């Protein structure tokens, strides 16, 4: 039997770059995702660029952990004739009332979304914000409040103003701390009465694999990435401090991409490798939540000759203004073997996989919740979890039993962590509760939604919304506070 605390925040999650659209409306500037094309053929995103002097244009593969190679003087740019999924996305910009009504119909208590930084500061380094952008979110929050839905707002979910990348080199430049603090001040002041829960950087640990979309860093060196991470840590601490000054009742959380890593066998060498892989993510929570740079990372920086540029107050701020809760995404687990250390993830013989090769692991949430709670003793919120699959719309609905089965296991796993282990869990926001563009591939056909949106990988479709079978399932789960699965 599953059971949940009365205050449990059930809901769904999205991000502006994948959901909102309206890329050229309301005074919005370009963000890093606005120069990424879709990946219907290759399942890989391409970054388009232009040389402003010669006019030469082209595109380059965006590969995890691979250097981004742009020709000399070329800068990321939008090109005519290319399809950019973020420009329209599924058009929340014009459908927000309809979508929030659907969320309310399911009984959502919480609605995770991001504010598109480039809608508020089109180039990122302005002193005064774009009022039209702020008004758009005023309306969205008012609509959520109408249904008593709690917004959970990510301040930077792969939506760094593109100019901060081309003019400053992204988060590797310390100046971004000040720009982000200014942005945070505007948001906290404006929405202090409407938004209680904030997340600073979506999946901050992805700065290592995806420095361009995560931190606007075009240079993929260990040095630049370490510096970007440090600057983000300092910014996070300054934002928590600022929040305390403006309205201490608000809460600022970390957002971590986490997955349990298993050693392939009981060979201790496999377990050591699994520990090292898990630390790739845990380093970020050790600093942003724990308040300290762990020794294993300092040793690694020494070995690699990485030198951080820091200022006097940095470590004081990190120590004294940690995040107050941990939001995390968890979709799958990983398996590693010391015999094949070059393979990032092996197929786990005990688990099935999604159509995109992600291990479907019914226990990964309980494991993750325990790992993070044992380490930090702070409340946790599963802000992303779900199954990306190809759906077939038939007779106005989708019979997505596979998605229901995946989510049933997730809810069970969370209930076990709460009831068997005593973990403090604030809520669950199912990822992509309405179909949105995939972040990893730019596809529409990788759908996570409980609501189907009529749009294909090339941007064709009516954008009409349809309730899937999982819509009714989740509605019942929420109505019974997780007792009926």
> Residues with catalytic annotation?
203, 384
- Tell me: does residue 461 bind ligand BG6 (CB under 6 A): no
Residues 119-147 as b/e (b if ≥16 CB within 10 A, e otherwise) read bbbbebbbeebbeebbebbeebbebbeee
State the minimum distance, in angstroms, from the CB of residue 222 to ligand BG6.
22
Cα–Cα dist 85/258, whole Å = 26
* Least distance CB 446 / ligand BG6 (angstroms): 5
Nearest to 227 by CA among 216, 242, 243: 216
**Helices within 147-210 (DSSP H only):** 162-168, 175-191
Q: Which segment (44-52, 218-226, 432-440, 456-464) binds ligand BG6 by CB under 6 A?
A: 432-440
- Binding region for ligand BG6 (CB under 6 A) out of 241-249, 305-313, 361-369, 438-446: 438-446
Over the window 242 to 281, marking each residue x when it contacts ligand BG6 by CB under 6 A and - when it does not, the resulting string is: ---------------x------------------------
**Does 457 engage in binding with ligand BG6 (CB under 6 A)?**
no
Minimum separation from the CB atom of position 86 to ligand BG6 (A): 11
Dump the DSSP string for 267-305: -HHHHHHHHHHHHHHHHHHHHHTT-S--HHHHHHHHHHT
Counting contacts by CB under 6 A, is residue 439 touching ligand BG6? yes
Between residues 217 and 418, which has the closer beta carbon with respect to ligand BG6? 217
Q: How many residues sit close enough to ligand BG6 to count as binding (CB under 6 A)?
A: 14
State the DSSP H helix or E strand holding residue 480, giving kind and residue range, or none if neither: none
Radius of gyration of the chain from its Cα atoms, rounded to whole angstroms? 21
Instruction: Pick from 2, 4, 15, 30 the residue near ligand BG6 by CB under 6 A.
Output: 15
> Which of 202, 236, 288, 470 contacts ligand BG6 by CB under 6 A?
202
State which of positions 58-117 bind ligand BG6 (CB under 6 A).
none
Give the residue, chosen from 238, 446, 447, 467, that forms a contact with ligand BG6 under the rule CB under 6 A: 446
- Kindly indicate which of the ranges 124-132, 189-197, 214-222, 434-442 contains the residues binding ligand BG6, using the contact rule CB under 6 A: 434-442
Name the DSSP letter for residue 340: S
Q: How far is CA 120 from the centre of its chain?
A: 19
Window 323 to 382, contacts with ligand BG6 (CB under 6 A):
329
Q: Which helix (H) or strand (E) holds 418?
A: helix 401-419
In this chain, which of 278, 384, 400, 435 binds ligand BG6, going by CB under 6 A? Answer: 384
188 lies in the binding site for ligand BG6 (CB under 6 A): no
The residue from 362, 440, 459, 461 that contacts ligand BG6 (CB under 6 A) is 440
Contacts of 191 (CB under 8 A, 6+ apart): 137, 141, 153
Name the maximum alpha-carbon separation found in the chain.
66
The secondary structure element, H or E, covering residue 133 is helix 131-146
Build a one-symbol-per-residue string for 305-334: x at contacts with ligand BG6 by CB under 6 A, - elsewhere: ------------------------x-----
DSSP SS3 for 61: strand
Taking the complex as a whole, how short is the minimal distance between the CB of residue 266 and ligand BG6, in angstroms? Answer: 31
Q: Least distance from C-beta 358 to ligand BG6, angstroms?
A: 8
CA distance 72 to 79: 18
CA distances from 56 to 59, 67, 72, 210, 219 (A): 11, 21, 11, 25, 21
CB of 306 to ligand BG6, least distance (A): 25
431 binds ligand BG6 (CB under 6 A): yes
Distance CA 198, CA 243 (A): 10
- The minimum distance between CB 460 and ligand BG6, in angstroms, equals 20
Segment near ligand BG6 (CB under 6 A), from 162-170, 175-183, 414-422, 437-445? 437-445
Exposed/middle/buried for residue 303 (C-beta within 10 Å: 0-12, 13-18, 19+): exposed
- Residues forming a β-bridge with 88: none
> Which positions lie near ligand BG6, rule CB under 6 A?
15, 18, 202-203, 257, 329, 384, 388, 431, 438-441, 446
């Amino acid at each position: 039997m599953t059971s949940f605390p009365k205050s449990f925040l059930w809901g769904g999650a999205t991000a502006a770059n994948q959901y909102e659209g309206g890329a050229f409306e309301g005074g919005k500037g370009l963000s890093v995702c606005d120069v990424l094309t879709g990946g219907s053929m290759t399942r890989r995103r391409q970054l388009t660029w232009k040389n402003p002097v010669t006019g030469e244009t082209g595109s380059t593969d965006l590969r995890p952990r691979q250097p981004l190679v742009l020709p000399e003087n070329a800068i990321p740019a939008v090109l005519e004739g290319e399809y950019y999924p973020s420009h329209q996305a599924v058009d929340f910009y014009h459908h927000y009332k309809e979508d929030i009504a659907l969320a309310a119909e399911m009984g959502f208590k919480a609605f995770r979304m991001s504010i598109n930084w480039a809608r508020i500061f089109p180039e990122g380094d302005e002193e005064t914000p774009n009022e039209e952008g702020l008004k758009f979110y005023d309306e969205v929050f008012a609509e959520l409040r109408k249904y008593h839905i709690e917004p959970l707002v990510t301040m930077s979910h792969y939506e760094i103003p593109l100019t901060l990348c081309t003019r400053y080199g992204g988060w590797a430049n310390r100046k971004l701390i000040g720009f982000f603090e200014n942005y945070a001040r505007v948001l906290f002041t404006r929405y202090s009465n409407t938004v209680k829960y904030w997340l600073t950087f979506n999946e901050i640990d992805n700065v290592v694999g995806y420095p361009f979309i995560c931190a606007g860093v075009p240079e993929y060196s260990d040095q630049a990435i370490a510096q970007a991470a440090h600057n983000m840590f300092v910014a996070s601490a300054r934002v928590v401090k600022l929040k305390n000054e403006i309205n201490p009742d608000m809460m600022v959380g970390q957002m971590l991409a986490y997955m349990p890593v298993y050693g392939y066998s009981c060979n201790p060498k496999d377990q050591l490798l699994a520990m090292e892989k898990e630390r790739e993510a845990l380093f970020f929570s050790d600093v942003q939540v724990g308040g300290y740079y762990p020794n294993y990372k300092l040793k690694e920086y020494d070995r690699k000759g990485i030198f951080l540029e820091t200022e006097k107050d940095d470590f004081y701020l990190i120590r004294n203004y940690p995040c107050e809760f941990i939001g995390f995404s968890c979709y799958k687990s990983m398996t590693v073997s010391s015999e094949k250390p070059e393979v990032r993830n092996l197929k786990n013989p005990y688990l099935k996989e999604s159509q995109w090769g992600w291990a479907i692991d019914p226990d990964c949430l309980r494991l993750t919740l325990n790992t993070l709670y044992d380490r930090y003793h702070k409340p946790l919120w599963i802000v992303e979890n779900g199954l990306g699959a190809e759906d077939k719309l038939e007779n106005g609905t989708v019979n997505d039993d596979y998605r229901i089965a995946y989510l049933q296991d997730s809810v069970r796993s969370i209930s076990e962590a709460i009831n068997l282990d005593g973990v403090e869990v604030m809520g669950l926001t199912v990822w992509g509760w309405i179909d949105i563009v995939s972040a990893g591939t730019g596809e529409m056909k990788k759908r996570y939604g409980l609501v189907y949106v009529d749009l294909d990988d090339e941007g064709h479709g009516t954008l009409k919304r349809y309730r899937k079978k999982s819509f009714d399932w989740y509605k019942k789960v929420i109505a019974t506070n997780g007792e009926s699965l």
